[in-house]
Amino acid sequence: MAEDQELLIELEKYLKAGVHIGTKFRTKYMSSFIYKIRPDWLAVLNLQKINERIKLATDFLSTYEPQDILVVGRRENSWKALKALNEATGIRVVIGRYPPGMLTNPGLDIFTEAKVILVTDPWPDVNAVKDAVKMGMPVVALCDTNNESNFIDLVIPCNNKGKKSLGLFYYLFALHYLLNRGLIKSDKNFKYKLEDFAEE
One digit per residue, the tens of pLDDT, for the chain of length 200 reads 444 448 999 999 999 999 999 999 889 889 999 999 999 999 999 999 999 999 999 999 999 999 999 999 999 999 999 999 999 999 999 999 999 999 999 999 999 999 999 999 999 999 999 999 999 999 999 999 999 988 999 999 999 999 999 999 999 999 999 999 999 999 899 999 999 999 76
pLDDT of residue 6: 86
Domain assignments of the chain as residue spans, ordered by start: 4-197
Alpha carbons within 13 A on the beta-carbon side of 106: 1
Going by their DSSP bridges, the two strands 69-73 and 92-95 should be labelled as parallel
Q: What is the pTM of this model?
A: 0.94
Spell out the CATH class of 4-197: alpha beta
pLDDT of residue 200: 64
CB atoms within 10 A of CB 146: 18
| Measured torsion, CA atoms of residues 114, 58, 82, 165, in degrees rounded to the nearest 10 | 140
d(CA 180, CA 166): 21
Angle between helices 47-61 and 163-180 (to 10 degrees): 40
